[in-house]
């Protein structure tokens, strides 16, 4: 029984050690003409989930939404992502600016990286990361 418990503990520890840290992220959201606060918070949670699963040894620092910018680029983003998704399933695209530190060196500002995350909302109503890249 101890061997099983020890093995399970080591497995969980290894699994958690490779995850991105999202425990202390700042979120700045401007008021939106299109989205409710709940919709924006759902988008932020989708980013956090994606980050924790895909950014090993990194610390999420800041997530920002700028409504004015998003409205300017929304139609272009919709057109871009409609090529990747069935037209009927894609209902919206949202752009967020995401900043993070690599290798948990949050006090070294030289390691701050900013990426644009494109969140897509499909006909199930949930946001998911459709693409991301450095800005």
Res 5 pLDDT > 50: no
Alpha-carbon span 56 to 102, nearest angstrom? 9
93 in any annotated domain: yes
Domain presence at residue 59: yes
Contact 124, 109 (CB under 8 A): no
Residue ranges making up the domain that contains 30: 20-134
C-alpha 81/C-alpha 112 separation (Å) is: 28
Residue 121 in domain = yes
**φ and ψ at 2, to 5 degrees?**
-65, -40
Number of domains observed in the structure of the chain: 1
Note whether residue 50 is domain-resident: yes
Strand partners for 60 = 100
Q: What is the pTM of this model?
A: 0.78
Helices (H), the chain: 2-17, 37-54, 67-82
Per-residue pLDDT tens for 68-83?
999 999 999 998 888 8
């Amino acid at each position: 029984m101890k061997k099983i418990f020890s093995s399970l503990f080591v497995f969980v520890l290894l699994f958690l050690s490779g995850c991105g840290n999202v425990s202390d992220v700042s979120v700045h959201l401007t008021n939106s003409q299109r989205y409710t606060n709940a919709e924006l918070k759902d988008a932020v949670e989708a980013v956090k989930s994606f980050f924790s699963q895909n950014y090993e040894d990194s610390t999420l620092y800041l997530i920002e939404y700028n409504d004015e910018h998003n409205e300017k680029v929304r139609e272009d983003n919709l057109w871009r992502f409609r090529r990747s998704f069935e037209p009927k399933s894609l209902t919206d695209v949202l752009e967020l600016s995401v900043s993070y530190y690599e290798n948990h060196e949050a006090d070294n500002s030289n390691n701050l990286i900013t990426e644009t995350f494109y969140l897509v909302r499909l006909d199930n109503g949930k946001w998911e990361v459709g693409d991301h890249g450095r800005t």
